[in-house]
Amino acid sequence: MSQVHPCRRTTRPGSHCTCGSFTKAAGAWGEFERTHDLTDITSADFLSKVGKKTKVLARLSTVAGEKGASDTVRDIRGFALKLFTDEGNHDIVGNDLPVFFIRDPVKFPSLNRSHKRHPQTNVADSSMFWDHHNNNQEGIHCLMQLFGPRGIPASLCNIGFFGVEPDGAFKYVKIHFKPDAGVTTLDDKEAARLAGEEPDYHVKDLYNAIESWIPRKPRLTASTSSMRPRYGAIGSSKHSDYPLVPVGKLTLNKNPDNYFQDVEQAAFSPSTLVPGIGPSADILLQARMFSYPDAARYRVGPNYQQLPPNRAKYVYSPYQRDGPATINGNYVSKFTSEVEEADFEQSRELWKIYLKAGTDQVFIDNVSGHLKKAIPEVQKKTIKMFARVDEDTSNRIEKKLSEQDAGPDHVKAPNDAAGSSPAFLHLFYTLARTYPFLNMILNRIEVDRMVSLKWHH
């Protein structure tokens, strides 16, 4: 086994994304509507209320064919969905076949390259294709699906998609999306004709289906099945063993205004998850969780999350910032984490050590010397935090602060410190720089404002 980091091995240049050029795709905006109760399985907000609608972006792609390739070629189709939920983005990155070729992620670049162009001739090569599969026979089920009647979709309005089954001993959920109008496919002969005469057959069809006077908007039913998987990514359990539970409806109803902006720059990842839905321990999925964002940083750029197709309504990593093509301005944060009493136990012991060693005053001076430049609302919260370590520590910091005569660093609180300040506080801060006694008054004003994690969407 080579020593190359798995993340690199699984992405460039051998992934679906070949050195910056994406596979051929069509894309559309739409909405996901929750139709059935699922609260026994997840607390995810977008699945919490029957009737709740969530904006989505879908990218329906080939695996082998790059831009300019013919649509009606036998190939797996990707169906990547981004749900812009109130808790952040949630991506579902599935395929139109319910099974996959490999269960070991390290084989992914070889699998993918074997379905693309030969490095010498720059033409797809059957020997290379089959040589790969001859040597990696765990993918036989997927091969049989690909070469069966379902291998060439007739229309992107009539394909469904699936998450692959996880590998492991726990109870998992597999996601299915099935087109309400049924799955339709082409035979080899018709597909070959269209590949020559109408190479963009699928992309045109999806666009026109949404735009037509009598629209044929793709509508899919989402279902889940709870399962105890046996085969991992290469298996597909019988629905009779694991019945499908309906979840919601997906409708694609709006074509992108600019293809490159909305579809080429879209970046999906199975690691984009909302609270209430977690990844399984399946190693294929674990590898994908790193591989997609790595590809996106390379293909689109480090700030791809800020672009229109990827920008979340709410973010949970407000401290991620700067770098080329930053366009989101200043982040606004109110970042809270869950803490327990145990988190303060060791600090309490350390405080006792300081007291014993006589370094307690140094600590108080150091903290207050730094904290004195923060705005009062931040100071208040820091004092409260130290009270959880020890009341005496907190009182001493507060007292020391009241003796200081410095104002806050910025006369107007920057957004990223604690949210923008009301105008009257702004005036106070300004005056406090000249009249230090005002700091004491400010210290008495408790301002407890929750600042949303909202980005402009």
Q: Which is nearer to ligand HEM, 21 or 317 (CB)?
A: 21
CB of 100 closer than 8 Å to CB of 233: yes
- The answer to whether residue 304 forms part of the interface with ligand HEM (CB under 6 A) is no
Question: Which residues from 8-37 bind ligand HEM, rule CB under 6 A?
Answer: 10-11, 15-17, 22, 25
Residue 270 CB, nearest distance to ligand HEM (Å)? Answer: 8
Task: Give the Cα separation of 260 and 456 in Å (integer).
Answer: 21
Q: Which is nearer to ligand HEM, 90 or 299 (CB)?
A: 299
The helix-helix angle for 391-402 and 437-444 (nearest 10°) equals 140
Q: Which is nearer to ligand HEM, 11 or 158 (CB)?
A: 11
Q: Which is nearer to ligand HEM, 191 or 267 (CB)?
A: 267
Q: Which is nearer to ligand HEM, 128 or 234 (CB)?
A: 234
Residues 278-297, one symbol each (x = binds ligand HEM by CB under 6 A, - = not), give ------x--xx--xx--xx-
CB of 372 closer than 8 Å to CB of 340: no
Angstrom distances, CA of residue 395 to CA of 154, 173, 356, 379: 73, 51, 18, 12
Name the CA radius of gyration of the chain, rounded. 28
Residue 1 CB, nearest distance to ligand HEM (Å)? Answer: 15
- For 321, half-sphere exposure in the C-beta direction (CA atoms, 13 angstrom radius) is 10
Taking CB positions, which residue lies at the least distance from ligand HEM? 78
Angstrom distances, CA of residue 126 to CA of 73, 118, 359: 14, 9, 74
Residues 143-182, one symbol each (x = binds ligand HEM by CB under 6 A, - = not), give --------------------xx------------------
- Token digits for 100? 């996959």
298 appears as a binding residue in the annotation: no
Residue 306 CB, nearest distance to ligand HEM (Å)? Answer: 15
Residue 184 CB, nearest distance to ligand HEM (Å)? Answer: 20
b/e code 11-35 from CB counts within 10 Å (16+ = b): bbebbbbbeeebbbbbbbbbbbbbe
Q: How many residues bind ligand HEM (CB under 6 A)?
A: 32
- The answer to whether residue 250 forms part of the interface with ligand HEM (CB under 6 A) is no
Interface pick for ligand HEM out of 26, 44, 83, 93 (rule CB under 6 A): 93
Helices and strands in the chain, H and E counts:
15, 8
Question: Which residues from 178-237 bind ligand HEM, rule CB under 6 A?
Answer: 233
Interface pick for ligand HEM out of 267, 273, 389, 417 (rule CB under 6 A): 267
Residue 347 burial (CB < 10 Å; 0-12/13-18/19+)?
A: middle
Tell me the DSSP string of 166-213.
Answer: P-SSS-EEEEEEEETT---B--HHHHHHHHHH-TTHHHHHHHHHHHSS
Binding site for heme, by residue number, is 292
Judged by the rule CB under 6 A, the positions of this chain that interact with ligand HEM are 10-11, 15-17, 22, 25, 59, 61, 78-80, 93-95, 100, 105, 108, 163-164, 233, 266-268, 284, 287-288, 291-292, 295-296, 299
